[in-house]
Structure 1
């Protein structure tokens, strides 16, 4: 660290490469899953953050560019969730995008509008982009988890679903009967993070404010706003996701 900032140089590059290699090697040796996703995720993160770092100055100079960048984040989040849920090729992923897009938007749009309208988050590009990114990212994760779990439950408990149909249940109600009990699993990450904040973890918003020169109280308030917002956003995203899955099982 140099004062309050991470020093950019060859030691940082070496450490990052070693960490990525360790993660990849552990997954491969432990036969947890394919090692390639870990390696490619690390490389993609480095490339994408490098590009964003170069573009961010131009984006922050304009409100319209900021809005466009937020929409780009939203589109990528919807595409990513659609791919996780569909587990298919590019065409199938694109075809499934409206569902995840609706789930993410239903959670993020009203909460972000409330934060901006109440003046809690300043309507400035430098504040909007990071907050919007955190909120969209949380909604994306919840949507992916809820959608995949709902699809898995419908597949594993197909007999129960068909039995409910045979008893006269509408398609939606039969699907919800199977998918709703496990939907809360998609909220476990945000619930755990919120319950243990300050005791086990100091999440990104808190650390970011401190690194930016803010005081601990300001950092704590910022993190609280983010976590409570994420609880609301992810709850809505999960609800909309299982509803959409139930209507198209």
Structure 2
């Protein structure tokens, strides 16, 4: 057994693919998420090297209690994959729903830092570990309607850079994975709350898929222990960062 991994948001999409890939790579995986029935399906497929745990990472009390709730042989988490996250809505800031903003911040920022803070001390004690967070190209490149979602992913990128600074002098690694357009997950369905609109996002494109993200993480964790990949930004070839937008007819008032 190569070690113990904890993957948040493993009920679908990236987390599901990451859990499957890392079990195949020889790791034991603690798969967490809100839908326990989905996690049990994954365990039925992968066997006893996957441990399903129901967890909402926006519940700070549950996150803090998680290490003690694990069986002793599962508590030494070697790799933490902060995958759980979401986007809500594409409205411009002046029209956005504050509850959507709060949910994104509580999950993408607060939940992620609480998970990291909960499992980092054990890594420090063992002087061994790897924290991987799923960011987004939205954290670097703005687009209309990304407002708070993009802001949360920019936070993830900067948090991971600063985490690497704090970990200097240890053998603990920290990596931000920042994908662009990626299909085959529930991301757009959750964001738009409309399956037809979600499908239209990927129409006539060849996007990344969750297995691409899982493959990337498999590579990152397989590198020699002295190698730290700070950040990987990845897009499908059908996507690139857009040029500067110009609104015609707007100027001096």
TM-score where L is the length of structure 2: 0.31
**Which of the pair has the greater relative contact order for Cα pairs under 8 Å at 6+ separation?**
1
TM-score where L is the length of structure 1: 0.31
Q: Which has the higher strand share?
A: 2
Q: Which has the higher helix share?
A: 1
